[in-house]
Amino acid sequence: MGICCGSQEKSRLINEIKADIYSLPIVVYSKAGCPKCLRVKSKLYSLRAEPKIIEVHNFNMKRMLKELTGQKSFPFVFVNGEFVGTRKFDEKLSKGNLDNLVKTGQEGYLRTSDSNSITEY
């Protein structure tokens, strides 16, 4: 995969991504209007998880996520700093193991209100 942008921009994006995924239990990089993104977020909320939702509008951020994960499309799901991806998320969902995946990533991070944490890039 090619470089998404200049070296300074690339370093800044990598640092932003790492800061989020290593400091928060569940992070979802999402795209507005994406059906898969809506499904993943809805399932996480139904499990009372409190994911950090990052709506990506920045083309370079999207390309960097693709470079880092190898996944081509949204959403990009991280649990405890580990890239889970849509396929693994769907597999866990179909096997009924998603609860365990979410529980490992949300120790102390249960939803307590209707507000969620959304960042836009």
CA 95 to centroid of chain Cα atoms: 21
Q: Output the pTM of the full model.
A: 0.77
- At the topology level, CATH places domain 25-106+115-120 in Glutaredoxin (3.40.30)
pLDDT confidence of residue 34: 94
- pLDDT tens for the 121 residues of the chain, in order: 455 678 888 899 999 999 999 998 889 999 999 999 999 999 888 888 888 999 999 899 999 999 999 999 999 999 888 898 777 777 766 656 666 666 665 543 333 333 345 555 5
At 98 the pLDDT is 65
Q: How far apart are CA 37 and CA 108, in angstroms?
A: 24
pLDDT at position 89: 72
pLDDT at 60: 92
* Residue 94 confidence (pLDDT): 61
What is the DSSP code string of the chain? ----S-HHHHHHHHHHHHHHHHHSSEEEEE-TT-HHHHHHHHHHHHTTB-PEEEE---HHHHHHHHHHH---SS-EEEETTEE-HHHHHHHHHHHT-HHHHHHHH-TT-B--SS--EEEE-
Q: Where are the domains of the chain?
A: 25-106+115-120
